Structure formats: C-alpha cells, structure tokens
Chains A and B, each alone.
Chain A
Amino acid sequence: MTERGQAVESFGNKTYVVIWLCLLALTAATVAAAKLRFTDYAVIAAVGIATVKAGLVTTFFMHLRQEPLIIKIILFLVLAALMLIIGLTFSDVWFRYR
C-alpha cells in the first residue's frame, strides 16, 4: 500500500501459519479439557481459551496492532460495554433465582 500514513509492514506468511497452528492447538486443548471435567469451571476455562484464540485472530489476522489508535479505542469500548451488559444482566438473574 503506497498511501502516506499507511503502515507498509505486515506479518509474514510464516507468522500466519504459526498463529494458525497455535489456534488449532488451543482448539484441541479446549476439546480435551471439556472431556476431563464437566463442572461449570470447565465452561469458564473454555470461554477463556476462546478469548485467547479471538485475541490471536484479532491481533495477527486482523492487524489490530497496526490500526489507528481510535479503532483500538472504540473496539475496547464496545467490548467493555458488552461485558458490562452481560455481567450486570447475568448478576441480576443470578440473584433473582438463587
């Protein structure tokens, strides 16, 4: 890309393949972990691993690091808002039906 202000550097194909292998490994880990324990904590671990995978895809495949700061800010704000909405609603349900 030759426009001014546009980051020319990007991750190479080798990096992409390494990240892809990490993603596959994390998927295998999630499936294995799910078969070991059936408790609710397994769900938290599964979602946690999923978040790590999503973070890898966002950082490396979506080049979030190279985007302008404003995009990182609004993405963070939306995710924070989502966490807040889900967290508060869920805690409301939890206390209501406990």
Chain B
Amino acid sequence: MTGKDITKGNRIAKDRLKKIAEFVYDQLDRGDIPHLEVSSRTKNNIVLSKDLKVWKYGKDTVQRSAKDLGGATSILRTLYTVDFIGDMIDSGKSSTLREMYYISEGWNKGKFPTQDESNKLAEDLEIITKCLREDFKLRPEEDGARVIGDLTITEKNRKGEVKKINCKDDVGDSGYGIPYNVEDEKVKFKAVNAKFIIAIETGGMFDRLVENGFDESHGAVLVHLKGQPARSTRRFIKRLQEFSNLPVVLFTDGDPWSYRIFASVAFGAIKTAHISEYLATPEAQYLGITPSDIVNYELPSDKLSDNDVSALKSELTDPRFSSSHWKEEIKLQLKLKKKSEQQALAKYGLDFVTDTYLPEKLSEMNII
C-alpha cells in the first residue's frame, strides 16, 4: 500500500495520537507520575448542547493515573493502541475492533482482558483526539442495517468504482446494506422521493412493512435499525435527514430498552456523546409503541421484569427523557406494569399495522 490511501483525517489523527504519547513521555521526563484525563462517560455527565441540539459530555473527567495498577495498565494499553494505529495509518491498512482485540494478545501487560475494554479505549481516543474511529482505521465488525425506499445514492466500492444505487429498484427484498463507512468519500446522496423516513427496530416488522408495500403506498424510506443501531446506521439516518430535510420517525417495541434506542438516534448515546453531533438526529420523533398505545389499542402485553422496572426508573433520572411527555409515558408504563412488542399489532391482522396503526399515528404527528 502506498501513502495515497492516507486521508487528511488519518494524518490529523496520527498527529494527535502522537501528542498523547508525548504527554506521557514529558510527565515521566519531569519525574511526575503519568496520567491521562478523559471525560466521564455516565448519564450524570451529559448536557444538552444548545447549538447542536444534541447531548454532549459535560465537564466531569476521570483520571487514569499510573499511581495504581489499573491506571498504569490503562495508560500502557493506550500507548500500544496509539502505536498500532500509527502503524496502520502508515501502511494503509485497517482493522476491525475485534481484530485489534486479538492483536493485543501480543501486547504483554497491555493486553485487553475483553473486547469491551478495547472498544472503550477506541472511544476514549476519539474523545481525547476529537477524531473519529474511522480516522484511526478502526471499524466495527457488524455492518449497518438495511434500507428500502425511493432513495438514490452512489457508493464507491472496494475496487474504487462509483456505483449508483436506487434503494427501491436496484435492490432485492432485503434492501440496500448500509456499509460501515457512510462518509461522503464513500456514500453520496443523490435523490429522494418520499414524504418521511421511518426507522424500525425489529427485522420482523421491517419485513412486514416491505411485504405490505408500505414504502410505496405511503411514500416512506424504511430503515432497519437491527436493535441498538450501529454507528453507521445512525450516521446514515443523520446524513439522509440533512440531505432530504424529511421528518424521521422511530417505530420500536414498547419497552425501556427501545426508548434508549430512540434516545441514541435522536439525542445521542451516553457512550458516544463525544460525537453526538455526527450521529444524532435531533429531528427524529418517537412514533411508538408508546405506553398509551398499549392502552388505546388494547395490545397483547407481557409483565415488566425487575430489570425493565429499574431501567424505566433510571430513565426517569436520565436528562434525555426529562420532557414532560416522556415522564408521563414512563410513569404510565410503571403503573401499567406492562410492555408490548411491535408485532403485538398483529392481534388485529397482518395489514393492521400498515392500514390503520401507522397512518393513524403519522397523521396525529402531522406527517401525512
């Protein structure tokens, strides 16, 4: 590989990563105990950015100091990772987060005990350098989800050819697969012919809407979230919204975990609040299933588990859910002690969701 694969982003990232090593080196050189400082990544340290309308990290930081074994190990891992990323940038290679985790096997005391640790460190480096994981040549192993609708994009494939794809006509029933990199150099939006974008949590419901032809009948772009959406999926929705200026609605199960999916799409996730402005779509609205839907549509339901209840209670203190609307809905659900899946709508037949439920909800929201 040659230097031509090195982007400007890569170069900036390499410079800033080197600064981390310099910071450590200088501390040691002065005879000080080395330390690094990172934003504290808890729900108590996210604040709403007025300019960006998304949730970002606040002022709280955590110190990783070489004073104790844990801190020292973390600094060592950081240096190994910095070195590894530098090498990748130089040689024009990239690796998945999982590959990096396995590569760390050879890092002696700097080895990661779990992949969770290595993923977290990659995020820490993003926070410190204000660069993106993609600039580090690191990518997740899971790709983004699927899209179906009258949307035309171009994608630069691995051979460097630019392919034009219409996400209705040029794809099969499983739709267009969102790649891990959806930045401009890879994916460009060309045209949209739709009234709104609907992001769907489960594959079953996505397929139902596809089978019922909901995209064409109601002028929708369908995006499958695949549970908690990957970064690329969130970034794709964000870019698509910016490009089209269309309303975005989220259609998920009616339980606390689904509300978190919505929050991560609309407000930014707690784990990735440092890049909320890239990933979050503040225009996104929550369509359902809401706790009120469970009552109004008399949906079949399950009892809330202990975990569900504590997740709901935790959301009551989550600043992202501090609006009175969310508070009332969450309190209602705690009172009902029930949750319902999207597919519970099938109680009224396979067409109910596309013929009745969605049109009713969308017109309530003044979208159609």
Do A and B originate from a single complex? Answer: no
Taking Cβ atoms with an 8 Å cutoff, the residues of A that contact B are none
Taking Cβ atoms with an 8 Å cutoff, the residues of B that contact A are none
